[in-house]
Structure 1
Amino acid sequence: METEAAEVNLCFTFGVIADIQYADTENGFNYSRTRERYYRNSLHLLRSALHEWNEEVITPRFILQLGDIIDGCNSQLKSSDHALQVVINEFAKSPSPVHHIWGNHEFYNFNREQLLNSALNSKHLGNGKLFDNGDSNIKSDLDPDDPNDPDAFYGYHFSPFPKFRFILTDTYDLSVLGRKKDSKKYCYSLQKLKSNNRNENLNSPKGLDGLNSRFLAFNGGFSQEQMEWLNKILTFSDNNQEKVTVIGHLPVHPYSTDPMCIAWNYDEILSVLHAHTSVVCFIAGHDHDGGYYLDDHGIHHLTLEGVIETPPESHAFGTIRVYEDRMILKGRGRISERVLHFDKHK
């Protein structure tokens, strides 16, 4: 009877999967050569996840693909376009729309202009304009001035159910990956990186202790423009009494991930999130071991385990069931089940 009552109160469900990193090549190892990576098998695990989502009694309202959909080695293999198409063809079998986040491996294979014109640009699934309580009057349009400008694109938002909003962010807005070397953001990012990492190899954490180890070339950060954009959306959500989940490839809380996997200016983005009562969760990928932390502002920081380092006999995906007062993550394989309560006193 409890289960039936819970289903009555269910608002919607959605799927989550991270770091598929497919490549048609033999297994390899991670950067430190401590973990095996199952390049071909990652496609089989994606198929399994899609099959289970398709078989669920309640079809997920949407799927969040949290970045690194194909591996960077495809660039060396000259197979980036083909590998991406193979994975996109699998996602096409989903009855649910798929929202894509861009991670570092996207930028190993493509530049920003290419991504904007690819299947990984899912911005058309967003609600660019904000509405107040379903009113047809448009209260605000917070899209960048030119949606086709790779320097201006940094995410979108959508509302799948009344009083719930999801915001997809670009954690590589500041980055040395994917940007033209004469662009303002590239130059700023390179300076920031080199001022904190003196190694010749900017992906090496040698000599970097604790949180300083985040200053690596495979990480990135949020521009001031993106944080202002995010702040405006969250202000609307505060006033509209919404519950907001923010999504990015890089985690933003030190206790939800390895220090080597966190966004460069995590402290700045946390200040933005903590200034708003509407934020209930931040979902990320990137750290293949996953992680979780409930911070002192009542925000759940959920980092999904990566498909790429998941053995063939296991799984790494989940379905999140959303209620008025909580979200329940039903993880499969390496991903734990969790109950994420919304703080009523925020």
Structure 2
Amino acid sequence: MSYPNGLVSQGNQPLFSFGVITDVQYADIPDGRSFLGVPRYYRNNILVLQKAVQNWNNHQNISFSLNLGDIVDGFCPKDQSLEAVKKVVKEFDKFNGRVYHMIGNHCLYNLPRSKLLPLMTFPNVERAYYDFSPIREYRFVVFDGYDISAIGWPHDHPHTIDAINLLNKKNPNLEKNSPVD
């Protein structure tokens, strides 16, 4: 879903507007269902993104847009994931303003961050957290929720080891991705 959000100052004049989209979850695979049974329209998701970008461009005063992650779906075949990410990023590139990306778990199920970050034009391709100020009075801080994570890093990376140690300490489940106690 995309929509412009105006941050309002005195006199009800927007200081700036921005677009937001999340969970594009594109994959060049037949439609399916989520783990909870919700229908997924993988190929159609690129059309939804195209409409969002067109809407932002037509709005003419969108300062920037935020992609909140998961541009590819976890079911995207690994051998197609790099091309799928490139295809989605190419659609984001059609926006007339700056796009700020976040990585999501579905992105990291498919590709290591070393391949994702350069494609998604992070301000610093070494990390997925950063900040930016669209105007002097406002600062956006973007966190990397998967910095310490069992996905997205090599298995012997210190961040992976820290994540697995924390999971083993705090999560009693044999299947660490299970919410069952």
Q: TM-score, with normalisation over the residues of structure 2?
A: 0.86
Superposed displacement of residue 54, structure 1:
1.2
Offset at 1:154? Answer: 4.6
**Structure 1 residues 183-332: aligned runs within 5 Å:** 183-207=157-181
AA of the residue aligned to 2:74 = G
Match of 1:316 in 2: none
* 1:194 counterpart letter in structure 2: N
Q: Does 1:62 align with 2:64?
A: yes
Aligned residues: 171
TM-score (normalizing by structure 1): 0.47
**CA deviations over 1:223-281 (Å, ceiling 9, x no partner):** xxxxxxxxxxxxxxxxxxxxxxxxxxxxxxxxxxxxxxxxxxxxxxxxxxxxxxxxxxx
Paired letter, 1:195? K
Question: Could you tell me how far apart the structure 1 residues matched to 2:35 and 2:175 are?
Answer: 13
The answer as to whether partners of 1:75 and 1:108 remain within 8 angstroms in 2 is: no
Q: Which has the higher contact order (CA 8 A, sep 6+)?
A: 1
1:23 corresponds to which letter in structure 2?
A: A
Q: Root-mean-square deviation (CA), in Å? A: 1.7
* Whole-Å separation in 1 of the counterparts to 2:53 and 2:108: 25
Identity of aligned residues (%): 36
Provide the C-alpha distance between the structure 2 equivalents of 1:108 and 1:40, rounded to a whole number of angstroms: 18
Residue 3 of structure 2 corresponds to which residue in structure 1?
none
Aligned to 2:43: 40
- 4+ aligned runs moved over 3 Å, structure 1: none
Structure 1 contact 24–39 (Cα < 8 Å) conserved: yes
Contact 1:19 1:67 in 2 (8 A): yes
C-alpha separation in 2, matches of 1:35 and 1:28? 8
How far apart are the structure 2 equivalents of 1:162 and 1:60?
17
Match of 1:268 in 2: none
Matches within 5 A, 1:84-163: 84-116=85-117, 118-123=118-123, 148=126, 153-163=127-137
Secondary structure (helix, strand or coil) at the match of 1:167 reads strand
Contact 2:103/2:128, CA 8 A, preserved across alignment: no
CA 1:121–1:89 in structure 2 vs 1: closer, same or farther (change >3 Å)? closer
Higher CA-based Rg: 1
Whether 1:52 aligns to 2:76 is no
Q: Distance in 1 between matches of 2:128 and 2:55?
A: 31
Could you tell me which runs of 5 or more consecutive residues in structure 1 were left unpaired when the two chains were aligned. 125-146, 208-346
CA contact (8 A) 1:27 1:39 kept: yes
Tell me the equivalent position of 1:169: 143
Aligned to 1:79: 80
CA deviation after TM superposition for structure 1 residue 184, in Å: 1.9
Residue type matched to 1:62 in 2?
Answer: F
Letter matched to residue 71 of structure 1: D
Secondary structure of 2:119 counterpart = coil
- Asked if structure 1 preserves the Cα contact closer than 8 Å seen for 2:30 and 2:42, the reply is yes
Distance 1:53 1:201 in 2: 42
Q: Do the aligned partners of residues 154 and 50 (structure 1) sit closer, same or farther apart at CA in structure 2, a change above 3 Å counting?
A: closer
